[in-house]
Amino acid sequence: MQTNKDLAERIAQLPVFDNHCHMMDPAKAQMTPLELAQCFYHGAGDIPFGEDGEYFWHKSPELMARLPGLGIVQTLVHRLSQRFGCEETLEAVAAERNRRTAVSYPKYINEMYDEAKIFATMVDAAGADDDPGMLLFPGVTLKTFQFDNAFDAGLAACDSFDALKLYYADELHRDYKINRAAAVKCHLAERFGLNSPVVTDDDARNAFAAAKASDYNAMQVVYVGLLQEALLLCAELDISIHFHTGMTGGPIRGL
């Protein structure tokens, strides 16, 4: 009879497609313990907080001191300490990681990918193929197209919802042909909530002028209207769409 342990061992041998990863950063070969924790806890360090433009985890030494105690960081510490064979503390795993990356950062990354059996990676906000950060990825790399960037630029540049749809389609097709876009990434949850209602094209047309004037409710209608168009274009191009549900942009209503 197959046991859970047998099943886990079989699963561990399967190749992995990493469906979402951010750009590698050569500058992060060496990191302090707090930098490693903040980097792993993606999201907390990206939230603008306050009128002075500072970021949430940078607001005070007291807040920064709480970061290592979070469960997600403790998971990182536990797993890396097991892999490195070192003391189970953030300071110890950061020091051991820095020792290994100082020998060769690409070698360290390759070892991690080989161990995880990752054969391909979908890179969010990817750079050019010859970008140093892209060159650090082992195996096959695919790229996402940023829906929100196109939405914001198109909303500013266009004078109607129909023009916005044409603008978006042109941008997506260009990125698909030139940059090998294999998925569209949007931030519906962060900006407007996953419970956003379905809208018609006429709804979006009627809301367009107010959306250009930054009315929140009108922007939601136009955003959802364009997103519905994006779903059809993804089907046409046979690429996927990613609904990002991180914590970097808003209240995450509807989860």
- pLDDT tens-digit series, residues 110-148: 999 999 999 999 998 778 888 999 999 999 999 999 999
- pLDDT tens-digit series, residues 199-239: 999 999 999 999 999 999 999 999 999 999 999 999 999 99
pLDDT of 80 above 90:
yes
SS3 assignment, position 183: strand
pLDDT of 38 above 70:
yes
Q: Which of 101, 133, 99, 105 is nearest to 21 (CA)?
A: 133
**Cα–Cα distance between 207 and 218 in angstroms, integer?**
5
Given this model, what pLDDT does residue 44 score? Answer: 54
Given this model, what pLDDT does residue 254 score? Answer: 42
Tokens of 85: 């064979």
Could you give the C-alpha distances from 55 to 30, 63, 141, 236, 241, in angstroms and in order?
A: 22, 11, 31, 40, 29
CA atoms within 13 A on the CB side of 111: 11
As a whole-number percent, the residues of the chain with pLDDT over 90 amount to 65
The backbone torsions φ and ψ at residue 184, rounded to the nearest 5 degrees and listed phi first, read -110, 135
Given this model, what pLDDT does residue 119 score? Answer: 95
Under the banding of pLDDT at 50, 70 and 90, the label for residue 247 is low
Query: What sections of 104-215 are H helices per DSSP?
Result: 105-116, 132-135, 147-157, 161-178, 188-191, 201-212
Q: Which of 40, 52, 26 is nearest to 80 (CA)?
A: 40
How big is the CA angle at 73 (ends 37 and 26), to the nearest 5 degrees? 35
pLDDT of 50 above 80:
no
Q: Which of 26-40, 42-56, 165-179 is least confident?
A: 42-56
Given this model, what pLDDT does residue 189 score? Answer: 86
Q: Which of 165, 128, 132 is nearest to 150 (CA)?
A: 165
Looking only at the bridges linking them, the beta strands covering 140-146 and 118-124 are parallel
